[in-house]
Amino acid sequence: MSADLESCPRCRAPVGADLTHCGHCGLSLPTGGEVPEAWIGRTVAGKYALEEVLGVGGMGMVFRARRVLVGDCVALKVLYPRFLESPLQRKLFHDEAVAAARLAHPNVVTVFDADLTGDGGVAYIAMELLDGAPLKRLLRDRAPLPPAEALPIFIQVCEGLAAAHDARVIHRDLKPDNIFLQTLPDGRVRVKLVDFGIAAMLDVDGHEEQRRLMGTLRYMAPEQCRGEPLGPQADLYALGVVLYEALTRRRATGRTVSAILNDVVVPPNHLLEADRTLPRDLEALVLRLLAKSPAKRPASAVETREAFQACLASLGGAAPVARRESAAPVSAPAPPAPAPPALAPVMSPPARSAAPSRSVLWIGLLLAGFAGVAGGVVWTLLTP
């Protein structure tokens, strides 16, 4: 039952009282006790006062919450109560919190607290509330990006991935939705990796766990599509897909598993106008990242970061040599201009038209994560 909802919480399409899913967008509709607005004013675990609904998804709800003791605000992910009875859903929720908590790095979202048992009737993850926009928005508005604009962003993505891989964590769902451009108080922008909802922990997950076909198909590596055990190169493939889209505004492969496994990637310069062609070393690096075989991709995120830095330096500017522990903020440049922006570790934040509130920005970001996990769960259950 849809808990007497009149419209879908995601797309606002009308829904009937007897429906379990929205007929328009497919969202699993909240049941009794799961209507997000009914939670406003409630204090979770005696610590988090729920003030605003940031979003809903197939697996749970996201709130802006004020910490009672400290007084600041966090983003609070709450698992739908009905999923407390599902071992798989609880394990995914648990793994997201544990994977993120392992990573103390400026380019990874910070998790402050979690209760994953559900013993108090609520399973939640409290994380930093980010101000800014996902990379998806920048690509939608501005792609194809010039290399001088894209590379500083992807250098910091590599910083976050390197920290994750050092901690034996594979993201498994890297995509533009999960690369967040956080606006800092001084106006600079820092890249943050978010949503480790289906991350694999190499020292914890067994062979069968890694075989689960979870993720967003468009960014899944061939070995991930085949259900094979994954290594860091799976994240590097996804990084290559995102970079390809950023530089060309085109998909790297077709829309099916067969296309991912068999399509020959068109070199970016075959798609770009003459005045937008990439340096040969950068084009070759993109194609290496998109190699079908993990062994033919770069060996690590660190190697990839260094290659990006070399490409950036070859464009005529000084590549930002960010130390792993500091990760100096970097951003996309200001509104489009005829000349490329200065190549420096810190640049102006991305142009934003009618800048929405950070609550609105978190909706799309976190719902994308919920959708990816829910889709992976369905695929897992349907795979022999």
Dist. CA 48–CA 50, nearest whole Å: 6
Return the exposure string of 45-55: e unless at least 16 CB atoms fall within 10 Å of the residue's CB, then b.
Answer: eebbbbebbbb
8 Å CB contact between 170 and 234:
yes
Residue carrying structure tokens 């890694």:
210
Structure tokens at 228: 């094979």
CA dist list (Å): 184 to 89, 316, 322: 34, 27, 17
Catalytic residues: 173
Among 328, 319, 187, 161, residue whose Cα is nearest residue 242: 161
- H helices of the chain, in order, are 87-101, 135-142, 147-166, 207-210, 222-225, 232-248, 257-262, 280-289, 301-314, 358-382
Give the β-pairing of 179-183 and 124-128. unpaired
CB-based contacts of 225: which residues, under 8 Å, 6+ apart? 213, 217, 257, 260, 261
Dist. CA 100–CA 88, nearest whole Å: 18
CA dist list (Å): 215 to 108, 191, 371: 19, 21, 9
